[in-house]
Chain A
Amino acid sequence: MALYSEKVMDHFLHPRNVGVIEDANAVGEVGNAKCGDIMKMYMKIENDTICDVKFETFGCGSAIASSSMATEMIKGKPVADAMKLTNKAVTEALDGLPAHKIHCSVLAEEAIRSALEDYRRRRENSGE
């Protein structure tokens, strides 16, 4: 049996939404290099909808695949829906992860939350 499911390998080898959004209005970064995982999410949100999302990840195969899958699951979705995305949903969409890799999907959930929190803060600061 392979280490990862075909879905994980597909998202790892052909990650979706890789890169940076220069005029992002929501940015979140979680994890730390000491532990070997960092995820950074960039979003362009208009009318409370995630119009675009991109990611940069330093990490193992499942971290990259989790980032890719998570961005795909929230792209074009209302902010309220993205807030509800769980690591469990990301793991299921990837047809499962090895037990010691579940934290990668947790990191993806946290990266999204962190970016949306940034978005909320920016709106508060701009007085909207």
Chain B
Amino acid sequence: MDIYADHAATTAMSPAAIKAMTRCMQEEYGNPSSLYRIGQRAKETLEKAREEIAAVIHADPGEIFFTSGGSESDNQAIRTAAMAGKRKGKNHIISSAFEHHAVLHTLDRLKAEGFEVTLLDVHENGIVHPEELEAAIRPETCLVTIMYANNEIGTIQPVSEIGKICREHGVVFHTDAVQAVGALAIDVQAENIDMLSASAHKFHGPKGVGFLYARRSIQLVPLISGGAQEKGKRAGTENLPGIVGMAAALKESAAERKTEAARLAELRDLLISGLNEIPHSALNGDAERRLPGNVNFCFEGIEGESLLLLLDEKGISASSGSACTSGSLDPSHVLLAIGRVHDVAHGSLRLTLGRENTREHVEYMISAVKDVVAYLRSFSPVWRDLESGKTPHLL
């Protein structure tokens, strides 16, 4: 059985998006900046996609800027707020300890340029406390950037409350909503979101395209200089097929969101209760305030990469926050941020469910994970020490 269970990494293209893109590539080859009819038709297609995307998050089409994806959107949003702050003598930014690296590394660069950054605690359940955010706001705070939902453990942040606090204090609020768009109902008006980053391939659209929502009052600082595309905020001929595919995929995700979210949440909870039967294991992140398809566990006494390789042999595509899969010596900064110690964080497994997954898949995964964890523990010296009482169990 082949089971793709890594929807937080990327998703399979929706057939509707492929169809829209194919049609666009075959018929709409014009440059939206050209004045003749072929170009103007492409321009109309571009603007129609912008309207469709804006409608899903309750924004105005003029507030949607097309980018190459989540990382670019995060970079541009944060740079924009930082530069605006700098002009007013404000150099303080608030974020959280478990943001995506597109946010954290951008903040590192700003720190080197003289900005001060406060990273809020995300606590054991992986959720920031709004009152701690409010307490961290200073007169010189120019930006709050908190993700909508975490990419590893799926925890959903109190975005409405954060937005309200930021609005009251007159601080710009950006949210990296890469994992949330398509999966959750988002209303940038009601939630007081000033900027929002999204990426098409997380909601069954194509890779290499995304968007940045920026409220009208915000003057985006371009990262790429050149032509006047995207109102001069993002130069370069628009990736029209990608944008059209993104719009088709988002429209489809939004249309089926309610029923799909309920279906996935049920599968998620089934998977969680199945994996909870494994001794000395623990769910990472809040059990309820999490994305409908996200399951993330730590298993004591085993290492994540070998777990992934053995699951791959059984046809399951999953991911882990172990150091060996992160390419560094440290395990996932997200797991460390919620207080998991290194030893335990190495044995993590993320299974993220999506459109194609079924109850049968979940049942198969529960039995496969149980088998693989037991097998790896059977020759793990760490597990031997835990079981003999030489070292204490942590989970």
Contacts and interface: CB of A to CB of B under 8 A. Distances in A.
Interface stretch (B202-210, B233-241, B379-387): B379-387
B324 interface: yes
Contacts of A59: 303, 306, 324
B305 interface: yes
B313 A13 contact: yes
A60 B322 contact: yes
B246 interface: no
B323 A19 contact: no
Nearest to A12: B309
Given A58-B303, A60-B324, A61-B306, A19 B329 contact: no
Interface in A72-102: 100-101
Given A13-B313, A34-B342, A36-B346, A56 B324 contact: no
B306 A64 contact: yes
Given A36-B331, A60-B322, A18 B379 contact: yes
Most chain B Cβ neighbours within 10 Å, of A13, A19, A57: A57
A19 B379 CA distance: 6
Nearest to B345: A36
Contact of A58 (B301, B310, B313, B341): B301
B323 A35 contact: yes
A60 B382 contact: no
A116 interface: no
Nearest to B346: A36
Interface residues of A, number: 26
Contact of B381 (A12, A13, A58): A58
Nearest to A59: B303
A15 B310 CA distance: 13
Nearest to B313: A13
Contacts of A58: 301-303, 380-383
B51 interface: no
Contact of A56 (B305, B341, B379): B379
A45 B356 CA distance: 55
A44 interface: no
B372 to A, nearest CB: 12
A12 B342 contact: no
Interface in B320-365: 322-324, 327, 329, 331, 341-343, 346
A38 interface: yes
Contacts of B324: 36, 59-61, 101
Nearest to A40: B381
A109 interface: no
Contacts of A39: 381
A29 interface: yes
A1 interface: no
A58 B80 CA distance: 46
Nearest to B323: A36
A64 to B, nearest CB: 6
B379 A57 contact: yes
Contacts of A13: 310, 313
Contacts of B379: 15, 18-19, 55-57
A39 B380 CA distance: 8
B382 A61 contact: no
A19 to B, nearest CB: 7
Contacts of B303: 36-37, 58-60, 63
Nearest to B376: A58
21 contacts: A9-B309, A19-B379, A33-B342, A34-B341, A34-B342, A34-B343, A35-B323, A35-B329, A36-B324, A38-B380, A38-B382, A39-B381, A40-B381, A57-B379, A58-B301, A60-B303, A60-B304, A60-B322, A63-B303, A63-B306, A100-B327
Pairs of residues from A and B, 3 with the lowest C-beta to C-beta distance, nearest first: A60-B305, A60-B324, A33-B343
Given A29-B381, A35-B329, A38-B381, 12 more contacts: A9-B309, A33-B342, A33-B346, A34-B341, A38-B380, A40-B381, A56-B384, A58-B303, A58-B381, A59-B306, A60-B303, A61-B305
